[in-house]
Amino acid sequence: MDTRRITVDPITRLEGHGKIDIFLDERGDVERAFFQVPELRGFEVFSVGRPAEDMPQITSRICGVCPTAHHMAATKALDALYSVEPTPTARKVRELVYNAFMLEDHALHVYVLGGPDFIVGPDAPPSLRNVSGVIAKVGADAGRRVISMRRRLRELIGRIGGKAIHPVLGLPGGVAKGVSPEDLPAFRALADEAVDFARFTLRVFRDLVLGNDAYLRMITAEAYTHRTYSMGMVDARNRVDFYDGDLRVVDPEGSEYAKFPAHRYLDFVAEHVEPWSYVKFCYLKPVGWKGFVDGRDSGVYSVAPMARLNASEGMATEEAQAAHDELYAALGPKPVHYTLANHWARVVEMVQAAERIRDLLADPEIAGADLRNLPTAVPRVGVGAVEAPRGTLFHHYETDGDGRIVRANLIVATQGNSARMAMGVEKAAKEMIRGGEVREGLLNRVEMAFRAYDPCHGCATHSLPGQVPLVLRILDRAGRVIDEIRR
Amino acid sequence: MLALGNDLLGDDAAGPLAARTLASRYRDRVAIVESGEAGLALLELIEGRRRVLILDSIRSGAFPPGTVREMAPESFRGVLAPSPHYAGLPEVLALGRRLGSEMPGELRVLSIEVEDPFTIREALSPAVASAMPRFVEAAAGILDDWLAASAGR
């Protein structure tokens, strides 16, 4: 068979990262597309023998992108390991920091990453499809507002938790530092601004995106639709909760399939390995791995904003609930399976995060002095989970009786979407390549299929990107480059 | 001096390690910042500074590990990458100017070619470790030039 190969290399300075290979069959149609991501090695080896209480600091330093998510999942795993609950004040302080992190991280995605696809527009010229293009569209004032809000939320996180990039807040049974009553007036003013900022973002999204039929058609296009299970964390009333609760899974029709506490994750989540990828593809263990396919019989599930909304029965705060209802009125009923709807769901979650920050700061207990319950139990096993911006994150530690790690396992958020992303990339490629004809905009349309999930690949990569520009190559069977598109 | 990298990720630590070596010599005259962040976070770190020297590891595959190179900021082409966290240096600079932020008058980038920035460990690979003195002295040369220029004003 004459198989041609197309490589999409959207890559950072790290060669070989996030590569997409598209294989064509003899008719020139897409046979398979492989979405490959890098693997971070050595975590377990690095962890073994270290005191468990170091894990919130170590795991948060592994990733410069979502340190707070790792820090909090690790802290909750320590609570479980030492069989100790945080004090009511400590829990609220953690939630405050966590919601501030969710808001600033989501804002970054909406304006910087989702921006090119949604605010500027999917068919805008590449020269405008960047942050500057977004600013041109929403205005420099709005741009400064985004930067300023993000910085101040990070200052709040830093004020309570140490440096935003290296939080040192969480301890088993509590927190290292509380909210000082003198800080409350400034924090409350910031919270009010944060709610305004979230409302503003919802308006921007509504005006630019929802007022445009072409966008709505794109969101609902079959090319970006996968009917899978959805997973997300919920509170006691099945409302979206980023910090704590059971994990709820709904089937592709929206019925509750499972609801389980984090420590039972191994009964529900398993990892599938493919020879072409380092990434482990998460699937629902009781349903089983049936390949990269949709539907009730396939264990593929999704996480992150749209899945979280799908897996819940609503939002935990008032304005977020209204925004949630607006989303489902336009795209519903529940569950919504459109990948690109993640951008909208992310804005709905920003509203909840902002409202939670405001409500937590209005609660006098947030500035309480009782910050810690001292652990007394002998440690053995601890599992903690949070909703990272990119989906459910599990930390699992086992220790000896002295609290030294003997085994550590992480299921990171992007893994929960890895199967769906691979399916999305293949489906988009199939739409854009027919009979050997590569349609204009292939790169962008393929990227949009995974960008909506805000994947974080590498849990580590930082600066100096761009050494290798985006490259799409078409190779014949002998490996000769017969076409090459660059930008 | 902005040292980029993660000191838990093998060779990715090259920038921060070089900065720590230089700290005793320059701490009083140069602001030294370490960061494992990317993208927009860089804007916060560089705005308001007159001159910025970035130290970072790079894995281009085009040079042997340990190669120290100065790179033009413009050579980091705008990238449409799978995450905003990869927002490129040119984009960050353009964004800062667009928003009216005070961007550095001079920005230089010094890189060291690395071998393995993916394994979680606190050690450099041998080729990178043996090139560290060159990396450190190249950075010191730039800082000395800038300090001399400032003093001569």
Q: Which residues contact A357 (CB under 8 A, 6 or more apart)?
A: A96, A99, A100, A103, A191, A194, A195
Contact A270, A283 (CB under 8 A): yes
**pLDDT computed for residue A34 by the predictor:** 72
Interchain proximity A465–B6, CB inside 8 Å: no
Residues in chain B closer than 8 A to A144 (CB atoms)? 99-100
**pLDDT computed for residue A19 by the predictor:** 64
- Asked whether residue A387 carries a pLDDT value surpassing 50, the answer given is yes
Residues in chain B closer than 8 A to A11 (CB atoms)? 79, 81
Residues in chain B closer than 8 A to A36 (CB atoms)? none
B73 interfacial to chain A (CB closer than 8 Å): no
Mean of the per-residue pLDDT values for chain B?
A: 85
**pLDDT computed for residue B95 by the predictor:** 77
d(CA A26, CA A226): 27
Question: pLDDT tens across B73-127, in order?
Answer: 766 554 434 344 455 666 777 778 888 888 898 999 899 999 888 778 888 999 9
d(CA A7, CA A470): 10
- The average pLDDT across A64-76 equals 90
Q: Which residue of B44, B76, B103, B120 to mutate against A (max A Cβ within 10 Å)?
A: B120
- Chain centre to alpha carbon of residue B18: 10
Q: Chain A closest CA to B68's CA: distance in Å?
A: 15
The stretches of A332-453 forming alpha helices (DSSP H) are 342-362, 413-416, 418-432, 442-451
Q: Which of B40, B58, B84 faces A464 most closely, judged by CB atoms?
A: B58
Share of chain B above pLDDT 90, in %: 46
Interchain proximity B85–A468, CB inside 8 Å: no
Q: Which residues contact A32 (CB under 8 A, 6 or more apart)?
A: A22, A23, A426
- Asked whether residue A473 carries a pLDDT value surpassing 90, the answer given is no
- Total domains in chain B come to 1
A9 interfacial to chain B (CB closer than 8 Å): no
Q: How distant, in Å, are the alpha carbons of A116, A182, B67, B79 from that of A11?
A: 17, 46, 21, 8
Q: Does this complex have an ipTM over 0.90?
A: no
Residues in chain B closer than 8 A to A143 (CB atoms)? 95, 98-99
Instruction: Spell out the domains of chain A, with CATH numbers in brackets.
Output: 4-38+425-486 (no CATH), 85-224+338-374 (1.10.645.10)
Strand ranges for A81-183 from DSSP E: 170-171, 174-175
Q: Chain B closest CA to A213's CA: distance in Å?
A: 25
- Asked whether residue A120 carries a pLDDT value surpassing 90, the answer given is no
Q: Which of residues 19-38 of A touch B (CB under 8 A)?
A: 38
- DSSP type of residue B73: G
Residues in chain A closer than 8 A to B58 (CB atoms)? 13, 464, 467
Share of chain A above pLDDT 70, in %: 85
pLDDT class for A430, splitting at 50, 70, 90? confident
- Asked whether residue A163 carries a pLDDT value surpassing 50, the answer given is yes
Residues in chain B closer than 8 A to A132 (CB atoms)? 91, 94-95, 98
Domain that holds residue B25: 2-152
Omega of the bond leading into A126 within 30 degrees of 0 (cis): no
Q: Chain B closest CA to A26's CA: distance in Å?
A: 30
State which amino acid sits at residue A368: G
3-state class of A247 per DSSP? strand
**pLDDT computed for residue A265 by the predictor:** 97
- Of A283-297, A353-367, B3-17, give the lowest mean pLDDT range: B3-17
- Of A2-6, A232-236, A410-414, B106-110, give the lowest mean pLDDT range: A2-6
Residues in chain B closer than 8 A to A113 (CB atoms)? 83-84
Residue whose tokens read 């073994």: A48
Q: Chain A closest CA to B129's CA: distance in Å?
A: 19
Residue B89: closest C-alpha in chain A? A464
Mean of the per-residue pLDDT values for chain A?
A: 85
Q: Which of B83, B100, B117 faces A457 most closely, judged by CB atoms?
A: B83
Q: Which of A64, A140, A469 faces B77 most closely, judged by CB atoms?
A: A469
- Asked whether residue A165 carries a pLDDT value surpassing 80, the answer given is no
**pLDDT computed for residue B82 by the predictor:** 36
More confident residue, A99 or A119: A99
Chains A and B: how many Cβ contacts under 8 Å? 180
Residues in chain A closer than 8 A to B9 (CB atoms)? 40, 62, 460
- Asked whether residue A466 carries a pLDDT value surpassing 60, the answer given is no
A304: left (phi over 0), alpha (psi -120 to 50) or beta: left
Q: Which of residues 96-115 of B touch A (CB under 8 A)?
A: 98-101, 109, 111
Residues in chain B closer than 8 A to A464 (CB atoms)? 4, 54, 56, 58, 76, 89, 109, 111
Strand ranges for A358-404 from DSSP E: 381-388, 391-399
More confident residue, A143 or A95: A95
Question: pLDDT tens across A199-250, in order?
Answer: 999 998 888 878 888 888 889 998 899 999 999 999 999 999 999 999 999 9
More confident residue, B49 or B36: B49
More confident residue, A465 or A241: A241
The CATH number covering residue B41 comes to 3.40.50.1450
Q: Return the closest-CA partner of residue A298 out of A310, A280, A286, A307.
A: A286
A128 interfacial to chain B (CB closer than 8 Å): no
